[in-house]
Structure 1
Amino acid sequence: MLRLVLVLLLVWTWTSSALVRVPLRRRPSIRSQLRADGLLLDFLKDHRPDMFNRRYAQCFPPGTPSLRLGRSSEKIYNFMDAQYFGEIMLGSPDQNFSVIFDTGSSDLWVPSSYCVSEACALHRRFRAFESSSFHHDGRMFGIHYGSGHLLGVMARDTLKVGGLTALNQEFGESVYEPGATFVMAKFDGVLGMGYPNLAEILGNPVFDNMMAQKSVEEPVFSFYLSRTRSSYPEGELLLGGTDEAMFTGPINWLPVTVKGYWQIKMDSVAVQGVSSFCPRGCQAIVDTGTSLIAGPTSDILSLQQLIGATPTNIGEFLIDCVRLSSLPHVTFVLGGTEYTLTAEHYVRKEMLGDKELCFSGFQAVDIVSPEGPLWILGDVFLTEFYSVFDRGQDRVGFAAAKHPVEG
């Protein structure tokens, strides 16, 4: 009997250390906050990529890679709509930061105590001089986002995520975050979980470091994202495997086609059962750092018409909330398996005062790649389908997510 107890204890210890749960919080997006404050229109005017680049380009060192012509079309991040983020710790002793765990990028950065931007004053800042494990690097980096650039210096220190530790983790200390995007953000920084080829900062991305240091039992991580803030958990990142309690049915696996983003082949996109877009197949990015589902402009404009969405003067698409039950289903076919979203899934609801507004969860974004235009499967898709990212076999898996029954 004693031997059985010891065996069970060993098994429990192994399984509990192999899988690390990182709780994710869901918060109103920057876009929602701006809309509620009546500031969205002015913000979007000031943060158009072309105008933003001209205004701030002189603030960056000549030759900054992220400022190269065409770079902005290669890397699109929609942090204005980001809603899910969790906690990490850097340094010795620990310094806490909230970050977006972003499969659409590969860099880790947090604000520096030396940052001069307004955004940094409103967020937790890394104090290198207080960390006994800090290693100065000195090289500079710049990262281009869809709504601005940030500039910083590189460093190395001890990183803790959940119960896992990554030693000598390369990361960026941002010293300049122009514009207002990060001023309103509820998160401090970003932890990229894409492939090394996507990184602006030299060195191993976080999950690569964890794999190299054998911190995780399996080279796999997975995401569960809730539909509402009232759900428990609001979201969860699982490092080292999957949680069968979070999904139903088998996991459908798709091979990664290009190792940068988590890029896969999409068979087609159908509206109400009719194959309307990408009929001969196209490429898609699985991106937890983008809230919406994005695709080529011509396709998305046609899709908006098919679901009865009408454009606003700031590029969003409104839907009559009363008509949701009659709107068509939109189905994404991946690896021969159909993933169907109803209007309740692809429509975003927001309260503006006492009025409910319904917005389309589809967005036009043109990303050119050697494999053709890319679609982005963001949180609108990933909320409905549990997602698994397998670096060992370079594949992405999906299964139907389990959500509490909404009353």
Structure 2
Amino acid sequence: MKWLLLLGLVALSECLVKVPLKQAKTLRDHLRETGKLKEFLETYKVDPGSKFFPRLAAQMSTEPMTNYMDMSYYGTISIGTPPQDFNVIFDTGSSNLWVPSVYCSSVSCSNHNKFNPASSSTFQSTNQPLDVAYGTGSMTGVLGYDTVQVGSIVDTRQEFGLAYTEANFFYYMHFDGILGLGYPSIASDGATPVFDNMWSQGLLSQDLFSVYLSANGASGSVVIFGGYDTSYYTGNLNWVPLSSKGYWQINMDSVTMNGNVIACNGGCQAIVDTGTSLIAGPSSGIANIQSAIGASQNSNGEYAVNCNTMGSLQNIVFTINGIQYPVPASAYINQFTQHCTSNFQDTSAGLWILGDVFIREYYVVFDRAGDYIGLAPVA
């Protein structure tokens, strides 16, 4: 089961150890290690006139994302020849790409774009079924292959899911499908993730991607494939080694408020997940946080907070690899016209899930070359 995708939408209904900045693996490094450098250089040797003709080129590509009410972030990709457009969540908490298909029988597909394989000259069918489960629902369908374009990157023969059924939850979403950016080990039915296919085809200048999420519904959110942009953050990136390679999982030291440990006492595991709206954690730790910020559950199941207390509430600090990452009350409390609610929620996953509430505060680099996450305060 994948972790709680868009958990917040359901709720809605110094210095100790520093990891030195490192150089990510380049395309040349990758090709050399796999014994393909000579072939690549001979095939794509430099030609002064080559700029006048299209050819394969490793690159960094920026994909804009729409911020829907600070609850979901999605961008437009295309699948097939000619291209068919879809809005997808770029989800670091899963690893499959899927979109609705014309064969979908669920009401959830009725108000979304649907892929028609008969309209694509490059589509290749399979008989392999696909079943992906999320915390908020699931989809079933079949796997196929086609050309997928993400930003300026054209990813050929990409394996993806054509949804035949979808949970009712997806009917209410403004996106059509999901593009998973986790490791291959958590991909359902052994499908190759989009990022891995891009890298294996030599389409990326570096074996990493990065994410900036805007706040307060503003525009400007991006996922950058093959690099990162220093204009999105201040100071230096702090590199955190992964503790497990499936989700983007790390060791977290503690969660504190006013210098007191209120959760994750003695250390715990956390994942950085762009597909979860809130910050989630084990019930005992979340209960401590809700108590510390004066949140109580109302008749709608929300954890309500007195809006008048927001100005006096202290930062909640997540300490990761010896570095403190404070999240202010303005981020961990949602303020509506007449009421305020907590952006924390418990989960049975057993892990802390640092979702969009956290990522809006910190630019994140997801480094597959060294299995690291880079974090720095947003500019």
Q: Please indicate the TM-score interval, normalised by the length of the shorter structure.
A: 0.7 to 0.9
Contact between 1:171 and 1:201, CA under 8 Å: does it hold in 2?
no
- Give the corresponding residue for 1:244: 230
Q: Could you say which residue in structure 2 is the equivalent of 1:186?
A: 174
State how 1:6-21 maps to structure 2 within 5 Å: 18-21=59-62
Cα deviations across residues 146-166 of structure 1 (Å, max 9, x unaligned)? 222211111110000000011
Find out whether 1:311 has 2:311 as its counterpart.
Answer: no
Q: Which residue of 2 is the match for residue 253 of structure 1? A: 239
Task: Give the SS at the match of 1:283.
Answer: strand
Counterpart of 1:359, as a letter, is: T
Q: Does 1:160 align with 2:167?
A: no
Segments of 4+ in structure 1 off by > 2 A? none
The counterpart of 1:262, out of the listed 248, 261, 267, is 248
Cα distance in 2 between the residues matched to 1:97 and 1:171: 13
Tell me, which stretches of 5 or more residues in structure 2 are unaligned?
1-47
Higher relative contact order (CA 8 A, sep 6+): 2
Measured on the aligned residues, the alpha-carbon RMSD in Å equals 2.0
1:302 counterpart residue number: 288
Task: Name the counterpart of 2:206.
Answer: 218
Partner in structure 2 of residue 396 of structure 1: 373
Candidates 100, 105, 127, aligned match of 1:111: 100
Q: How does 1:376-391 map to 2 (within 5 A)?
A: 376-391=353-368
Residue 261 of structure 2 aligns to which amino acid in structure 1?
Answer: S
Amino acid at match of 1:177: E
Matched, 1:141 2:130: yes
1:344 is matched with which residue?
330
Deviation at 1:90, TM superposition (A): 0.3
Q: Percent identity?
A: 43
CA contact (8 A) 2:256 2:263 kept: yes
**How big is each residue's C-alpha offset from its partner over 1:316-366, in whole Å with a ceiling of 9 and x where there is no partner?**
21111121011121000011110011101111223xxxx332111111002
One-letter code of the match for 2:111?
L
Alignment counterpart, residue 278 of structure 1, candidates 249, 264, 269: 264
Maintained 8 Å contact 1:139/1:154 = yes
Task: Give the partner amino acid of 1:395.
Answer: Y
Distance 1:250 1:162 in 2: 27
Residue type matched to 1:376 in 2?
I
Matching residue of 2:340? 358
Are 1:83 and 2:72 counterparts? yes
Structure 1 residue runs of 5 or longer lacking an equivalent are 1-6, 30-81, 368-372, 403-407
- For 1:33, the equivalent position in structure 2 comes to none
| TM-aligned CA deviation for residue 17 of structure 1 | 6.4
Contact 2:95 2:182 (C-alpha < 8 Å) held by counterparts: yes
Q: TM-score, normalised by structure 2?
A: 0.83
Give aligned pairs, total: 329
- In the TM superposition, what whole-angstrom CA distance separates every residue of 1:281-339 from its partner, at most 9, and x where no partner exists? 11100000001000000110111000111112343211111210111210000111100
Q: What CA distance in whole angstroms lies between the structure 2 residues aligned with 1:169 and 1:273? A: 48
Q: Is the 8 A contact 2:263 2:286 kept in 1?
A: no
More helix by share: 1
